């Protein structure tokens, strides 16, 4: 074995975990009976220098993993993203996935819900339930989560502009289930900055939007301590055309802005940093993606310890969810997408993801069918239980190529962050359109390479075949929109509208002042105020952002 440092790490950190594994009669070996060690490092003298640079799993700077035994001790959470048509349909899909071995929920919301419009709003027509579940009131959230024990299932909600409203609804459902707020476990995306950069589902200008984000930080630190208050997303920027370097750089530049905003409100960095989480894509270039995740952990650890002087090791740990690349899916030869997503899932696992979603083969054509969703979940399960890739920590660490890629990705990403710092930070860079231009140029370069066949996309620009179109495509029944609107109107008729008016008035007063908005939003939600009504109150106070670039 290499250095005495490794012996100390093993004795103090790993051995207690191994003892518990022995109690469970876990044994790790190859098909040939070769025992698999929890961790491999280079032999001395190179070993001492290597471990000095990258550390050990579970120790700063976490290049090799945030936990000492990573997936060997606990598999990643298999969290398939779902939501469509109606709360009832989405609830059935959630139950189906849980019955087939999914270990966490991930909720997709439709576009009207994402941008704060009720299902009967004229701008919602034709979009209700199309790309996610429509949620207008607490009643919809109650149906969505019916029969799902919120004290035992962790939930991720991909929602940003209306994040505080949907979190308030989740909290209210938990209360109705008799679950203590301290038992609620999950993640709210709540990452508004990437909406201005790459996605577009913003409502308010950046300053009040950042206030809503930090209000969630404050509220959850006091009330819902196990909740991850933000999932800072590189995924959508990469889907828009960013490179792996840009994904790292712009994600962490946004994260720096959130931390600075929280500190300005008086929060202690160690009081909220443990609730920050991240969301990255896993793309096709297997080894670059593995290196990207390793570089990300090291970068975040150093940012938190050296830039923000966080003292708690938990504050230095980068915990992230990964999703395979939707943009890589092709409508041509859709079966090829199974191969693509398997490679991408493997990269996320080898890179140390805490949770994972695998896209389905038919998503370039429509919402995934039940059969294709099951295949995506089975892809994760085969990798977990049959491939052996989770038997040892950071199995590719020490590869000359992977280590070079890790160092180079970090170096180039930090150079971008320095540029953004020199411009005055993320909001100032947004004002100049800097991130958007960089992503657009990268996307243009990629597309030109595809068109000129410098980059091969199998079945698209090479190895093309004539095939009949895929027949089994999930289509949302247009009548679902009508039924959703009818349910919304029924809630409006039957609720205590005096209580709704009072709660909305209180929210307006809070929004015009400096108090935390979350308690007032919870009160509105529990009175069955709608997502649109709450958002309209905040629109009346904060205004609306018309363009993604701050001017």
**pLDDT of residue 551 exceeding 50:** no
Q: Which two tokens stand for residue 230?
A: 């933000």
Instruction: Compute CA distances 16 → 5, 12, 64, 108, whole Å.
Output: 17, 8, 19, 39
d(CA 537, CA 532): 9
**pLDDT of residue 329 exceeding 90:** yes
**pLDDT of residue 3 exceeding 50:** no
Q: Which of 14-28, 63-77, 190-204 is the least confident region?
A: 14-28
Mean of the pLDDT values across residues 258-283?
93
Q: CB 17: neighbour CB atoms within 10 A?
A: 16
Of 149-158, 217-226, 508-517, give the range with the top mean pLDDT: 508-517
Query: Which contiguous run of DSSP H or E holds residue 279?
Result: strand 276-282
Q: Helix-strand-coil percent breakdown of the chain, rounded to 5?
A: 55, 10, 40
Contacts of 233 (CB under 8 A, 6+ apart): 189, 191, 194, 251, 278, 279, 280
Q: Using CA atoms of 376, 381, 383, 389 in order, give the dihedral in degrees to the nearest 10.
A: 140
Listed residue (121, 150, 6) closest to 481, CA to CA: 121
**pLDDT of residue 21 exceeding 60:** no
Residue 22's pLDDT band (cuts 50, 70, 90) = low
All domains of the chain, ordered by start, with CATH? 70-451 (3.20.20.240)
* Inter-residue contact 470 to 365 (CB < 8 Å): yes
The reported pLDDT for the residue numbered 130 is: 85
Angle between helices 244-264 and 286-302 (to 10 degrees): 20
Which residue has better confidence, 199 or 501?
501
> Using H for helix, E for strand and C for coil, what is the string for 283-350?
CCCHHHHHHHHHHHHHHHHHHHHHHCCCCCHHHHCCCEEEEECHHHCCCCCCCHHHHHHHHHHHHHHH
Which residue has better confidence, 477 or 272?
272
* Inter-residue contact 72 to 392 (CB < 8 Å): yes
Contacts of 451 (CB under 8 A, 6+ apart): 461
Which stretches of 3-95 are assigned E, i.e. beta strand?
Answer: 77-78, 81-82
The reported pLDDT for the residue numbered 339 is: 97
d(CA 288, CA 368): 28
* Inter-residue contact 2 to 43 (CB < 8 Å): yes
Mean of the pLDDT values across residues 276-297?
97
Considering the entire predicted model, what is its pTM?
0.90
* Inter-residue contact 77 to 355 (CB < 8 Å): yes
**pLDDT of residue 1 exceeding 50:** no
Residue 19's pLDDT band (cuts 50, 70, 90) = low
Instruction: Compute CA distances 300 → 55, 476, 480, whole Å.
Output: 14, 41, 44
Which residue has better confidence, 87 or 139?
139
d(CA 269, CA 542): 27
Q: Which of 25-29, 133-137, 318-322, 449-453 is the least confident region?
A: 25-29
Q: What is the DSSP letter of 198?
A: I
The reported pLDDT for the residue numbered 175 is: 94
Listed residue (365, 367, 485, 474) closest to 112, CA to CA: 485
Q: What is the DSSP letter of 545?
A: -
Residue 548's pLDDT band (cuts 50, 70, 90) = low
Q: Which two tokens stand for residue 457?
A: 């996309």
Render pLDDT for 343-400 as a digit per residue (tens, 0 to 9): 999 999 999 999 999 999 998 988 788 889 899 999 999 999 999 999 999 999 999 9
Render pLDDT for 392-431 as a digit per residue (tens, 0 to 9): 999 999 999 999 999 999 999 999 999 999 999 999 999 8
Query: Which contiguous run of DSSP H or E holds residue 27?
Result: none
d(CA 258, CA 193): 9
Query: For the chain, how big is the Rg over CA atoms in Å?
Result: 23
d(CA 91, CA 95): 6
Return the percentage of the chain with pLDDT > 70, whole number: 94
The reported pLDDT for the residue numbered 449 is: 96
Instruction: Compute CA distances 65 → 4, 55, 185, 289, whole Å.
Output: 20, 9, 22, 15
Residue 24's pLDDT band (cuts 50, 70, 90) = low
Of 21-35, 48-62, 91-105, give the range with the top mean pLDDT: 48-62
Residue 4's pLDDT band (cuts 50, 70, 90) = low
The reported pLDDT for the residue numbered 85 is: 78
Mean of the pLDDT values across residues 442-455?
96
Mean of the pLDDT values across residues 319-338?
95
**pLDDT of residue 321 exceeding 80:** yes
Q: CB 325: neighbour CB atoms within 10 A?
A: 20
Residue 25's pLDDT band (cuts 50, 70, 90) = low
Mean of the pLDDT values across residues 220-225?
92
The reported pLDDT for the residue numbered 550 is: 46
Mean of the pLDDT values across residues 109-126?
94
ω before 43 within 30° of 0 (cis)?
no
Contacts of 44-48 spanning 24+ positions with Cβ under 8 A = 44/2, 44/3, 47/2, 47/3, 47/6, 48/2, 48/3, 48/5
Residue 179's pLDDT band (cuts 50, 70, 90) = very high
The reported pLDDT for the residue numbered 17 is: 65
Task: Report the mean per-residue pLDDT for the chain.
Answer: 91
Residue 8's pLDDT band (cuts 50, 70, 90) = confident
Burial of 535 (0-12, 13-18, 19+ CB in 10 A): buried
d(CA 72, CA 388): 10
* Inter-residue contact 338 to 379 (CB < 8 Å): yes
Task: Classify the phi-psi angles of 60: left when phi > 0, otherwise alpha if psi is within -120 to 50, otherwise beta.
Answer: beta
**pLDDT of residue 138 exceeding 80:** yes
Block residue for tokens 């050990």: 56
d(CA 97, CA 35): 34
The reported pLDDT for the residue numbered 46 is: 66
Q: Which two tokens stand for residue 165?
A: 């409203």
Mean of the pLDDT values across residues 83-108?
83
């Amino acid at each position: 074995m290499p250095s005495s440092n490794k012996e100390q790490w093993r004795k103090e950190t790993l051995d207690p975990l191994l003892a518990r594994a022995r109690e469970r009669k876990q044994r790790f070996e190859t098909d040939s009976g070769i025992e698999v060690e929890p961790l491999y490092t280079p032999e001395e003298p190179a070993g001492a220098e290597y471990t000095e640079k990258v550390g050990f799993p579970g120790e700063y700077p976490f290049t090799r993993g945030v936990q000492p035994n990573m997936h060997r001790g606990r598999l990643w959470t298999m969290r398939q993203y779902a939501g469509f048509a109606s709360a009832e349909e989405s609830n059935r899909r959630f139950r189906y996935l849980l019955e087939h071995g999914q270990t966490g929920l991930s909720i997709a919301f439709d576009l009207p819900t994402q941008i704060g419009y009720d299902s009967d709003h004229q701008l919602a027509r034709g979009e209700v339930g199309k790309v996610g579940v429509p949620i207008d009131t607490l009643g919809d959230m109650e149906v969505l989560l019916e029969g799902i024990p919120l004290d035992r299932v962790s939930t991720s909600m991909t929602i940003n502009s209306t994040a505080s409203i949907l979190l308030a609804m989740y909290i209210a459902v938990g209360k109705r289930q008799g679950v203590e707020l301290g038992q609620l476990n999950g993640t709210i995306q709540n990452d508004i900055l990437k909406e201005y950069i790459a996605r577009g589902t913003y409502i308010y200008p950046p300053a009040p939007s950042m206030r809503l984000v930090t209000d969630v930080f404050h509220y959850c630190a006091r009330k819902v301590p196990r909740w991850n208050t933000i999932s800072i997303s590189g995924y959508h920027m990469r889907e828009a055309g960013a490179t792996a370097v840009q994904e790292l750089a712009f994600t962490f530049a946004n994260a720096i802005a959130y931390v600075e905003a929280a500190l300005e409100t008086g929060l202690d960095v160690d009081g909220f940093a443990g609730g920050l989480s991240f969301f990255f894509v896993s793309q096709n270039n297997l080894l670059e993606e593995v290196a990207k995740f390793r570089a990300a952990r090291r970068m975040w650890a150093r940012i938190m310890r050296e830039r923000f002087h966080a003292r708690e090791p938990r504050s230095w740990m980068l915990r992230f969810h990964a999703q395979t690349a939707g943009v890589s899916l092709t409508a041509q030869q859709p079966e090829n997408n199974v191969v693509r997503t398997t490679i991408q899932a493997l990269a996320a696992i080898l890179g140390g993801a805490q949770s994972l979603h695998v896209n389905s083969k038919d998503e370039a054509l429509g919402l995934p069918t039940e059969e294709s969703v099951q295949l995506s979940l089975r892809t994760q399960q085969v990798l977990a239980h049959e491939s052996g890739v989770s038997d040892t920590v950071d199995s590719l660490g020490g590869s000359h190529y992977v280590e070079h890629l890790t160092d180079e990705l970090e170096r180039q990403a930090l150079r971008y962050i320095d540029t953004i710092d020199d411009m005055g930070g993320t909001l100032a860079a947004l004002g100049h359109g800097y991130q958007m231009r960089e992503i657009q140029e990268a996307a243009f370069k990629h597309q030109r390479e595809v068109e000129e066949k410098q980059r091969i996309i199998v079945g698209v620009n090479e190895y093309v075949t004539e095939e009949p179109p895929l027949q089994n495509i999930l289509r949302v029944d247009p009548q679902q929109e009508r039924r959703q609107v009818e349910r919304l109107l029924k809630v409006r008729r039957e609720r205590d509208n005096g209580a709704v008016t009072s709660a909305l008035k209180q929210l307006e007063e809070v929004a015009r002042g400096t108090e935390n908005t979350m308690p007032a939003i919870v009160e509105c939600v529990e009175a069955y105020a709608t997502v649109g009504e709450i958002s309209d109150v905040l629109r009346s106070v904060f205004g609306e952002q018309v363009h993604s670039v701050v001017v």
